[in-house]
Chain A
Amino acid sequence: GQNIDQPTEMTATEGAIVQINCTYQTSGFNGLFWYQQHAGEAPTFLSYNVLDGLEEKGRFSSFLSRSKGYSYLLLKELQMKDSASYLCAATDSNYQLIWGAGTKLIIKP
Chain B
Amino acid sequence: IAGITQAPTSQILAAGRRMTLRCTQDMRHNAMYWYRQDLGLGLRLIHYSNTAGTTGKGEVPDGYSVSRANTDDFPLTLASAVPSQTSVYFCASSDSGTSSYNEQFFGPGTRLTVL
Contacts and interface: CB of A to CB of B under 8 A. Distances in A.
Interface of A: 4, 8, 30-31, 33, 41-45, 48, 50, 87, 89, 91, 95-102
A4 B58 CA distance: 17
A89 B106 CA distance: 14
Interface stretch (B16-24, B38-46, B78-86): B38-46
A99 B100 contact: no
B103 A45 contact: yes
A96 B49 CA distance: 11
A96 B44 contact: no
Given A95-B97, A95-B99, A99-B42, A42 B48 contact: no
Given A41-B108, A42-B90, A48 B42 contact: no
A42 B107 contact: yes
A103 B25 CA distance: 28
Main secondary structure of the interface of B (DSSP, over half): loop
Interface in B43-72: 43-45, 48, 58
A78 B18 CA distance: 45
A45 B58 CA distance: 21
B106 to A, nearest CB: 4
Contact of B100 (A31, A42, A45, A87): A31
A4 B108 contact: no
Given A95-B97, A101-B40, A101-B41, A48 B108 contact: no
A31 B40 CA distance: 24
A50 B101 CA distance: 9
